[in-house]
Amino acid sequence: MIATKLGEFYRDKDKRWLSIWVAGLLALWIWDLVFLNAPALARIEAAFVNTLYAGALVVFMSLVFGWAAGVGLHFLDEARNRSPYIVLTFFLNVIRSIPQIVGILIGYVVITFFIEQEALQNQYAQLFWMSFVISLFVFLEVVDLVRDRIRYFAASDFYPAMLCCGIRESRIVNIEVLWKNSRAHLIHKLIAIFGSAIFLQCSIDFIISVGLSTDVSSTNFPVTLGSLLAKMDSKQDILAIGSLFGDLSVFGRLLTEHLQGVSVAVVIVFSLLCIYQISNGFVKRNSL
């Protein structure tokens, strides 16, 4: 009975990869517990929790902004006066044309300004605003999805039939189309956004810690996987990977002596790979 249930569970690619992700991270944590010094392990744990927290916030904010903007655009598109629709579309297209990393970098410069003015001191508030900035540049994917789903149903009989039954259009769009019939699509998009958020956050924190270290550094930004990887000792650990190509015997030392950098790099790459596979598996399971 348990074996059958387990078999069914593992047939679904998304569930299988979710368990691989959790098991992999757990195995790495146990390994670090044995071989890594306590302060470094504490830093990795804090960085991982902060990164996940920020990623989850990005997902939540992208959903809220994307849903609101997508539904708002739909109603503005149908309104008699189309100027607000044109203006909003124009602004969204401008955001779309700004490479994410550039937009996020500008956002971080603003956050730094507030940190320097001592207007933003709480670590969780800083993470919140960092996530807000990232979500500004990824939420458009949710907007496009919401618009596509509404268009898809509007073209079928489903939508006009409900209108004829006297159901409010806002209810049809928000409840019937998006909540009841597009939840799987939205979850899939949010999984992909979670992956993008982790990648963007790690990259921007790495860049900032490496390049803007005099003004902005891990001392005034909460530690994340990206900023931890940018620390000198982590970078030395990653550099040590290069010596593997000439001398395979270094491999053992890499797993015991260069653990901080290697662990952070593994967590980032492994998480991105697993999130991608979970997203693909989710598409397959729900036939999206």
Shortest spacing between CB 162 and another protein, in angstroms: 27
**Nearer to another protein among residue 50 and residue 173 (C-beta):** 50
Site for another protein, rule CB under 8 A: 90, 93-94, 96-102, 105-106, 109, 195, 199-200, 202-203, 206-207, 210-212, 214-215, 229, 235, 238-239, 241-243, 245-246, 265, 268-269, 272-273, 276, 280, 283
**Nearer to another protein among residue 49 and residue 98 (C-beta):** 98
User: Do 132 and 54 meet the contact criterion of CB atoms below 8 Å apart?
Assistant: no
**Nearer to another protein among residue 162 and residue 273 (C-beta):** 273
Shortest spacing between CB 146 and another protein, in angstroms: 16
Shortest spacing between CB 171 and another protein, in angstroms: 30
Shortest spacing between CB 97 and another protein, in angstroms: 5
Q: What does the alpha-carbon distance between residue 225 and residue 177 come to, in Å, rounded to a whole number?
A: 38
User: What amino acid is encoded at 137 in this protein?
Assistant: F
**45-52 long-range CB contacts below 8 Å, 24 or more apart?**
46/223, 47/223, 47/224, 47/225, 47/227, 47/228, 47/264, 48/225, 48/267, 50/127, 50/222, 50/223, 50/224, 51/198, 51/201, 51/202, 51/224, 51/225, 51/226
Helix (H) or strand (E) holding 24: helix 13-35
**Nearer to another protein among residue 172 and residue 200 (C-beta):** 200
Bin 231: left if φ > 0, else alpha if -120 < ψ < 50, else beta. beta
**Using CA of residue 70, residue 76, residue 78, residue 83, what is the dihedral sign?**
negative
Q: What does the alpha-carbon distance between residue 26 and residue 140 come to, in Å, rounded to a whole number?
A: 34
Shortest spacing between CB 107 and another protein, in angstroms: 12
> Residue 115 — φ and ψ, nearest 5°?
-65, -40
Q: What does the alpha-carbon distance between residue 201 and residue 133 come to, in Å, rounded to a whole number?
A: 10
Shortest spacing between CB 30 and another protein, in angstroms: 21
**Nearer to another protein among residue 34 and residue 94 (C-beta):** 94
**Nearer to another protein among residue 154 and residue 238 (C-beta):** 238
Shortest spacing between CB 123 and another protein, in angstroms: 23
**Nearer to another protein among residue 11 and residue 171 (C-beta):** 11
Nearest to 190, CA basis, from 99, 282, 62: 62
